[in-house]
Amino acid sequence: MSSIKNQKNDSSQMKQILSPDAGSPEAGSSAPVHNSSPSSPSGESKGADNERSRPLCQPPTRSISREPEQSPSVFGGKNIAVGMEKFRRAPECSMELDSLEFGPKHTVLIDIKAFKTCQTLEPVSGQDMWNTDYVKMPYSEKNIVIESGLEVIKSYNMKYKDEWHFDALHMFFSKMDDGEKKEHFRVIEGMANLAMRLPEICPKPIPLLKTGEDRIITLSHEQIACLLANAFFCTFPHRNSKQSEFKNYPDINFNRMFAERSEQKREKLMTILHYFRTVLDKMPKGLVTFERRHLKDKIDWRSAKLGVTDLHVSAEGTIEKDGAGMLQVDFACAMVGGGVLGSGLVQEEIRFLINPELIVSRLFTEKLQDCDCLRVTGTHQFSKYEGYSNSFKWKGTRPLPENAKRDKWMRLYTEIVLIDAIKFKERQQQFRMDFINRELNKAYCGFCENYIPEDYCTAIATGNWGCGAFNGDPRLKALIQIMAASKAKRQLAYFTFGDQQLAKDIRDMHNFLSKQNISVASVPKPAVGKDKKNQTGRKVKHLLRGRNATLDSDWAHLNRRETPSQVTVQAGESPLLHCALSAHI
């Protein structure tokens, strides 16, 4: 076995490690659980005086550059082409950004002066930081590296040489002809060369986006590609053990993707390597922003005196395609990305695969807490796909148009918000008000834009958030998102992914609330016990139930597991949810 010692890991040593020539290549309790997956550096404070203090959940300050469009009237739910034609989208409804600046809470990894004067994306210099506030980089002189080794990945992770397996990677190459193998080896060689340039491309330390903080990281497409190439070759130190200081962060090294062969892993690898082929052939020129937001003050939903927002519901279409230019919801795990590097292949994992630049968020984003979200602006969808879960298939390239519009920070107009729902072991628990309030605050944290006029806030594109394996009731989750979007004064486009009945039920519920002129907090107080006069509450509950055969039994367990005839309204609940959750038929 090669000896291990502390030494400076410079570019030449990374080349030795990464060169393709060196070798071949989630107990017991019934309580709900949140999902999970199996000293400032030099230059950081530069320009800090120019950073304006940012109110809660407000993005970097913007200035209005044009007359706003008129807000559309309440929409009752038509087809996609007609129904969403007046929904606000970027860039048409966008506000002009302030100049890009460093700040105490905003780390920019490119040279601001060169960006402003020449529109070039040159890396900004920095000083290595090896502590619990920053990403530990492979080239750090404090990293422990291998002097020599034959197998690229195992040589860099000798501790795991008997634990890591590469069945999926072997399967991937075994199903190719010689021409395909040659092309993919060309791509992998290019990835290795890109990974070795990490000290040159990302010399400035990258801060961690920690729990409870508002913080932003802006970096270039090239810097993201370089970081992901290193993740592919599993070079990030202290990221392979759940006992390390990074145990509250997602894994970033790709070792789990290489193990346990399956057709799904093959499709994942096809999608990832296509991304690398695309950026190696022509690197996009632009920036991507990752912003962690924390809702410091929870909302009193009893005082949310706002009308119900405009809504479009359809069983057809997708968030990423038909929600273009909107704030697009990623149904996240608390460990962002979920099982993208393992066996997971549902909504979040698929989004991370087709927009693979999202994967780099796993490098620096600590586990999301109840009032946290992550906003990502500027990623590109590199791949087309079809199917879901076991039927997922990579279906070819989705090229970036030469004239693709970008904002003042050279970011594409793609904005994705990652919000994690509660995973319920017992389905009826989600109807308790404490859990409903948690979901309301989580969704609002993701949707809100404080101090930005309503007409400059894009619509939200979402769907069955927290349903499926998380056991969420889709009608309840739809009502929660309608309330949060109403509070945030944003229109809502809701896609049910083929479920026609669910689309009809949500539309009927929204139409009823709109026609009754019901606001989030000013609806009539519902009946208590068996009072039959509360027709509004009875109607909303009926609409919320839809065809859900188990909802009546869920109602019997609400709060203290009373029977429907015994349920009483708890002080402090939102009247709209009173109406929906406490009325009895």
Beta strands in 236-279 (DSSP E): none
> Alpha-carbon distance 321 to 556, whole Å?
40
User: Residue 165, exposed/middle/buried by CB under 10 A (0-12, 13-18, 19+)?
Assistant: middle
> Alpha-carbon distance 356 to 289, whole Å?
14
What are phi and psi for residue 374, nearest 5 degrees? Answer: -125, 125
Largest separation between any pair of C-alpha atoms in the chain: 80
> Alpha-carbon distance 426 to 411, whole Å?
42
CB 330 within 8 A of CB 418: yes
User: Residue 553, exposed/middle/buried by CB under 10 A (0-12, 13-18, 19+)?
Assistant: exposed
Three-class secondary structure assignment of 460-523: EEECCCCCHHHCCCHHHHHHHHHHHHHHCCCCEEEECCCCHHHHHHHHHHHHHHHHCCCECCCC
**Residue 403, token pair as written in the block:** 């004239």
Query: Can you give the C-alpha Rg of the chain in angstroms?
Result: 25
User: Residue 179, exposed/middle/buried by CB under 10 A (0-12, 13-18, 19+)?
Assistant: exposed
Q: How many residues does the chain have?
A: 585
Q: Across the chain, how many H-helices and E-strands are there?
A: 20, 17
Among 111, 349, 439, 473, the active-site one is: 349
> Which residues, in sequence order, are CB contacts of 458 under 8 Å at separation 6+?
88, 89, 90, 93, 94, 325, 326, 327, 415, 490
Strand 33-34 relative to strand 422-423: parallel, antiparallel, unpaired?
Answer: antiparallel
- Taking the C-alpha atoms of 283, 289, 290 and 293 in order, what is their torsion angle to the nearest 10 degrees? -170
DSSP state of 134: B
Q: Which residues on neighbouring strands pair with residue 144, listed in sequence order?
A: 6
Residue 348 designated active-site? yes
> Alpha-carbon distance 119 to 219, whole Å?
14
> Alpha-carbon distance 91 to 414, whole Å?
10
Residue 330 designated active-site? yes
User: What DSSP line would sit under 520-573, residue for residue?
Assistant: SS-SPPPP-TT----HHHHHHHHHHHTT-TTHHHHHHTHHHH--GGG--PPTT-
CB 133 within 8 A of CB 147: no
- Taking the C-alpha atoms of 567, 568, 571 and 577 in order, what is their torsion angle to the nearest 10 degrees? 60
> Which residues, in sequence order, are CB contacts of 351 under 8 Å at separation 6+?
320, 330, 358, 416
DSSP state of 331: E
Among 291, 310, 348, 366, the active-site one is: 348
Among 330, 366, 420, 505, the active-site one is: 330
Catalytic residues: 330, 348-349
